[in-house]
Amino acid sequence: MLKKYLIISTATDLVRIAPDKIVFISSDGNYCNLVQTDNETRLLTFQLGQIETMIHDQLGTDGLLFIRIGRGLIINRNYIYYINIQSQKLILSDVVRFTHTVSASKDALKQLKELIEKEAKV
Amino acid sequence: MKEKDIRDDEIRVIGEEEKPKFKGWKWLLLLLVGIVVGCVLYTVLKPKEKDQESEEVVEQGYYDPATVVEQPAVKTALAKAADVGHGFIEMADTTINDIPLKVYIPHEMRFSLFVGTIDRNDPSILFATQAADVRADNGGIVGAFVLEGEPLAWGLSKKGYCAIINDTVTVGVAENSPLFEEATERGGYFFRQFPLVDKGQLVENDVKGKSVRRALCDRNGELLVVETLTPESFHDFAQALVDLGVDNAIYLIGSNAYGWATDAEGQRHPFGCPDPPKKKWKNISYLVMKDKGKITK
């Protein structure tokens, strides 16, 4: 079975990336920044909601890998390393090559924490 | 997938399947509209001469000649009538083609018709059974009908007829019968019903379903009323009458239509349902038999 890729195409360029190579995507006004596992960051000329739709439509169930957190973040759940609700800190890392710290609301992080806990029980 | 709003205090797993929305509303709506239109069309276009029994739809039966195993066990008993000294109804049970039948044989009876609510306590009425059909839409009598010389209904919806003129009862099948006019001229009676047997031949009718069936029959000049004890199709009933040796027969209202027969001992034997019908038909007609009052010895 062919590996699924997320393809983000504009009139002038195209990004093709494997889902597991995406650490997170953050909103930057009308654009977003895609942070890769190789520590590169790529500016995408799409709003975060549009990227979410692409992930859903292109990746199908593989899109389960990604979690939308609030209005500003899409994260790859495989790289959730640390959650601190009080300090509103979320660290995404593979503990080898990269470590990224992002911020989210307490409620969102609380829900994320519960989700991870719940899935761990299953 | 459409872009969905999200607040900062929410999270959402992106690839999670949304609960499938029911997309068949259009079809469901079309189906409902179709059913409604169908009901309306049926109501508007249904046959107007719908008789009282037409709702008893089950299935059409078929006659299998191989099942004719028993011969009719019904015999006349004129001598018995003479012994009794008054009119009565002889009742005999028989089975034709596996169809259990009750045969009512009138002795020294005067036939007539009655329209309206019959007096069930009238001791002079020794036999009564519903005769002509009543229209479900307007309560009118189906087919030509004459009561004591007065025509109450006209029309030929059914080819079977019974004429009672000066104590002579004629059962036959014809589109036009001069007996209708004769009944009006001579104070007689006349009604129409489905033909079942014509000169010994089965007459097919386009009536579906099974029900308790009754018929007025002429067998070798002797009049009989025959009733099935089980629900039967028109075809099977008519075939049983043919096998009973009936020359001519017309249908009488069957099912749970109430009636009774009085035996030689004066015992009344009701049939049908004694409860009045839910819908009161002012034009319910009865074939009535009363004691002639004289016995030829």
Q: Please, are residues A105 and B9 in contact by the beta-carbon 8 Å criterion?
A: yes
Tell me what pLDDT residue B21 has: 56
Instruction: Tally the C-alpha atoms within 13 A of residue B107's C-alpha that lie toward its C-beta.
Output: 26
Nearest CA in chain B to A56: B15
Ordered alpha helix ranges (H), chain B = 25-45, 78-84, 178-185, 234-243
Instruction: Please provide the distance, in angstroms rounded to a whole number, between the alpha carbons at the two ends of chain A.
Output: 27
Structure tokens at A4: 């699924």
Which uninterrupted H or E stretch holds B160?
strand B160-165
Of A98, A42, A108, nearest in space to A73 by CA: A108
Tell me what pLDDT residue B58 has: 35
Tell me the pairing of strands B88-96 and B99-107: antiparallel
Of B25, B76, B60, B64, nearest in space to B205 by CA: B60
Nearest CA in chain B to A47: B3
Q: Label residue B261 left, alpha or beta by phi (over 0 means left) and psi (-120 to 50 means alpha).
A: beta
Are A50 and B1 in contact (CB < 8 Å)? no
Are A66 and B15 in contact (CB < 8 Å)? yes
Instruction: Tally the C-alpha atoms within 13 A of residue B104's C-alpha that lie toward its C-beta.
Output: 30
Tell me what pLDDT residue B68 has: 41
Name the residue among A57, A106, A111 with its Cβ closest to that of B11.
Answer: A111
Residue B52 CA to residue B50 CA, distance in Å, equals 7
Torsion of CA B96, B193, B282, B129, to 10 degrees: -30
Phi and psi of B135, rounded to 5°?
A: -70, 135
Q: What one-letter code names the amino acid at B17?
A: E
Length of chain A: 122
Which uninterrupted H or E stretch holds B268?
strand B268-271
> Which residue carries 């999200």 as its tokens?
B6
More confident residue, A55 or B24: A55
Average pLDDT over residues A117-122: 82
Structure tokens at A122: 């299953």
Residue B253 CA to residue B232 CA, distance in Å, equals 13
Of B92, B40, B68, B67, nearest in space to B226 by CA: B92
Name the residue among B2, B11, B15 with its Cβ closest to that of A60.
Answer: B15
Tell me what pLDDT residue B276 has: 62
Angle at B190 between CA B289 and CA B168, to 5 degrees: 55
Q: Which stretch of A6-20, A92-106, B73-87 has the lowest confidence by average pLDDT?
A: B73-87
Q: What is the ipTM of this complex?
A: 0.87
Nearest CA in chain A to B18: A56
Q: For an interface test with B, give the residue of A6, A22, A57, A69 to mutate (most B CBs within 10 A).
A: A69
Residue A62 CA to residue A66 CA, distance in Å, equals 8
Q: Which residues of B touch A (CB under 8 A)?
A: 1-4, 6-17
Strands in chain B per DSSP E: 11-13, 88-96, 99-107, 109-115, 125-130, 145-147, 150-153, 160-165, 168-173, 189-193, 195-198, 201-202, 214-219, 222-228, 248-252, 259-262, 268-271, 285-291
DSSP per residue, A28-94: ETTEEEEEETTS-EEEESS-HHHHHHHHHHHHGGGGGGEEEETTTEEEEGGGEEEEETTTTEEEEE-
Which uninterrupted H or E stretch holds A26?
strand A22-28
Are B14 and A50 in contact (CB < 8 Å)? no
Residue A74, beta-bridge partner list: A25, A68
Does the domain spanning A6-121 belong to CATH 1.10.760.10? no
Structure tokens at B105: 């044989």
Tell me what pLDDT residue B20 has: 57
Pairs of CB atoms within 8 A across A/B: 66
Per-residue pLDDT of chain B (297 residues; tens, 9 = 90+): 667 788 989 999 987 665 555 667 778 888 889 898 888 888 777 655 444 544 443 333 333 344 444 444 454 444 455 567 788 899 999 888 888 999 999 988 899 999 988 888 888 899 999 999 887 777 788 889 999 999 988 877 789 999 999 889 999 999 888 898 899 999 999 999 999 999 999 999 888 888 899 999 999 888 999 999 989 999 999 999 999 999 999 999 988 888 999 988 888 999 988 776 656 667 889 999 998 875 443
Which uninterrupted H or E stretch holds A90?
strand A89-93
- What value does the mean pLDDT of chain A take? 93
Tell me what pLDDT residue B61 has: 33
Of B236, B232, B237, B239, nearest in space to B211 by CA: B232
